[in-house]
A and B are shown apart, each in its own frame.
Chain A
Amino acid sequence: MPQIVIDGRSIEVASGTKVIEAAQQLGIYIPRLCYHPALGSAGACRLCAVSFLEGPVRGLLMSCMVEAKEGMVVSTQHPDALQFRKQIMEWLMMNHPHDCPVCDEGGHCVLQEMTVAGGHSMRRFPGSKRTYEDQDLGPFVQHEMNRCIHCWRCRRFYQEYSGYKDMGVMGLASRTYFGRAVPGPLESPFAGNLIDICPTGVFTDKPSRFKARRWECQRAPSLCIHCCLGCSIVVNSRYREVLRIEAGHNPEVNGHFICDRGRYGFDYVNHPSRPRWPLVEGRACSWQEALAYAGGRLREIIEKHGPSSAAVVGSSRASLESLGALRLFCEKHAVSGPFLWMETQELKCVRRLLQGQELFVSMKQVEEADTILVVGLDPVQEAPMLALALRQAWRKGGWVGVVDPRGVELPFCFSHWVVHPREMGMALEYLAGKPKSPYEGFDDQGFLKAWRQALARGKRPVMACGTLLAKADFMGACLELAHFLRKEKGCGGLFPVLRGANSLGAVAVSGSEASGLEELLEAIERGELKALVLVETDPLFSFWGKARLKEGFKGLELILVMDYLPSGVSKQASVVMPCKSLFESSCLFVNNEGRLQEATAVHHGGIPISQMLEEANPPRTFGTEIPGGGTCAGWEALAKLSEAMGESLGFSDLPGLRNVLRQRFGWLREVRPGQRILALEPEGGKRWEEIFHSQKEEGQGALSLLLVQATFGTEELSSYSRHSCKMEAGPMGFLHPETAACLGLKQGDLVRLGWEQGELEFLLETKENMHKELLVVQAHRLLDWDKAGRPPEVVNSGQLEKII
């Protein structure tokens, strides 16, 4: 642990620490353009020069390239260093265009700051500036190569850190060019990070181009809720419109980066059709009127048909407050629910996983693991940032093994054991060393032996598992294997990937009798239900029961929707109450590892001014209220509804609600935002063995059907975003090339899958590394769910036909 003196202050740092980091620990910011804590040192920009006065090295050196050593005395303000840095700034500006006034980076540009700080204001060099042609890099990233200062951050991130190979550096010397071999959309789902890490304006945010300077924006830290990981983000809003998302820094969760789904999915909050005021039977009205109507109707229905004739539905994209209020509402009025899960099976999977919650680890710990098993999970498609964490583990020499039937692709080398879904449990038992495993004694050219060896070698194993393949013994086997690794190694963990941003929050507030929407659907069809309250949920989005639900809705007397999305179900509703999104009200979420995280309100919200300009500018109607700003948080709307029904839920504001929830739920009592909840207690829960559908008999040549997620196109919120929709590949289905050939199909065919209750159409892609007895279809928003009943688990070759 060397001791080092910087600017007269002494600090002891871990060996291997670079001087630039040591200074940062003292709160001294040494100027830098190429150094980035996640990317390390490059020594490219020469801006972090400092004077070494005493110690093993002397003179002017780059602080990002020199490790702190015992006895070093460093001055960051030495006249030599100041003069050198000043000169460097002048050189960097020699080729940099003077386009700050029209550059989107202007105002948060590191190069601009350093130029001003270095006092460089007059150009002395009379020569012309170097120029380049820019490329079209797709819908997210704007390219402006003339501004480049060759710090290499973009390439280091794109190729080394994230492992994608379609963007890099070409040419040399003054022709050095950062871009793609040919213009076209960047292939990496992490490409948006180029915008954050570029210290100048070469890569800027395309959707928010020319819209605002950073200082004009309302900015606040928030959470990404487009998957379960709960990455930190920073939100920029102006004139009631969320313009841009930047990655927030959260060392335990996402580090410095986020994925493009998280960066560009936000636009649902700006949706022009978003509900902005209450609607009763399609007519806009005041909250009072809507509450009186809905509350009255609900009370009548309950009095007439009994409390179980009304049901309350939520989802795992709702905040913990909304979920908690849903539970309180149910208890207060004795109505059915809350139904928070699309499928009972999913709820039970998560419950089962919770039994191993003492093994849960953070994404940071995944990065630090040396042996990682990824089972029943396709990280890039389901939780993209996990793929980036896995890559970091691999870069440090870690081994990654994937047990999955799908054609999983990851941006690094991994070992892929292609196992049929029905055999997943057996495969995991084999890895856990069960002597009776059918894989024992059978081994394909030593492949599995290598796996056992890798597991035996590992000192810090982690298992990441998904819930998509949850069948029969899978979840139990996951836990068993995780416990086995923990027992063998004394450490090791489990990293569950769930489907919703607040899946763990939802399971924790679910009562012991909770079930999925299938049971609700059946109750509707039996005519037992008369009223439905849907809070921040849309079962019509990708639920297989869409057609049946729509039919069932006809028999209901009241459908009340509280949401911030112009959802499908809100078009069926008799009463719509507009809700606040998480950018408009502070709220809590519990991520996949059980971490309680808070999103702060960014702005009040309302109709974006950009959407009001068509009407008139300035607006011709005058009032003291923000247009379209009269929205309530989900929990607030529920509390008001309850009051309209004559019963208070016991709170009137956010702190009040949080207090009530802390009293009601023991697991919430001691936890502060940012901390892990150590003991989530789900109530009750049936035995695991009972919960799965029985395996159907499979005929000759039958294929198992898997409905899977995609990075873009299957997640609900981002599918309302104008930006991320541009990166969707359309509904895709996947077959092994041999299977496809047997069926007379080939890559690029438009294929129809038909069964007695419905049909789905998708574009076929063949993948070499998937199981041959499998058909994988993306649960895409563009699939025609109106025509699809419950998809079959097993498909016969006759059910697949080529359309084009």
Chain B
Amino acid sequence: MTEKDKTIEIRWHGRGGQGAVTSAELLALAAIEEGKFAQAFPSFGPERRGAPVLVFNRVSDVNPIRARVSVTNPDIVVILDPGLIYITDVTSGLKEGGVLIINTTKTLVDITSELNGPWKLAVVNATSIAREMLGVPIVNTTMLGALVKATGIIELESLTEPLKERFGARAKGNIDACRKAYEETEIAELSGIVEKPRKTFETETFPSWQELLPGCVVTEAGNAKQYRTGDWKSERPVLDHQKCIKCGICYLFCPEGCIGQNEDGYFEANLYYCKGCGICARECWTEAIKMVEEE
């Protein structure tokens, strides 16, 4: 098989609301615009804002795309949120010689100590670029710039029309963010054995059909509390005790119901469940709550 015959497979890791689906759509549209064959599709589910999501692309220079199945052995992995590398096995199935692209504040060296393998690694501080160029930490278009720089899968210019079509009046900021990320992305060739972050990922085991109770009844009441929705956040609320008047408005507005009153009367979010939506900070009229980016 020649290089041209190959289908490049991409897996995007993002969080609900970060625009990973849009990234993959724009990439496919740009590739098709160039005369290539391309596909973009999300893994459908009940995900909400902040929940880890997967999106997939396939791009081929000459062949129509037939596979209608998730990408499990990607050539390229793009990670929109740095926190995901600790809760998801982001390099799972990544091919030898593949490309790993991460939005992170960390340097190449720091990342390599956590996430090594026989890959090309690209890093960019996309959150900072997006804040600067767009005013919001939505990194989808920014990460497209990093992807193009690290892989050359399409021409950067090919994104202009799809971006205009998609964002209308807001297209310029997105085009600028994309270009800035293209310029700032740093790339290194890694080598050696695969290393994953310290966290050992829980391998989920599912019951056989014979183990299910009649009608799939769940006998453990309230087991939703085991669900660590705190893993979904990219920002966390920090309370300034000087400004807080203990009014409890944050408690009333928290959609997750994860804010409780402590012994001293302050209302605090339980970070095991807090999804980092920022509604408490927005509603706090003494501005005692600030949203701070997760490490």
Decide whether A and B are members of one complex.
no
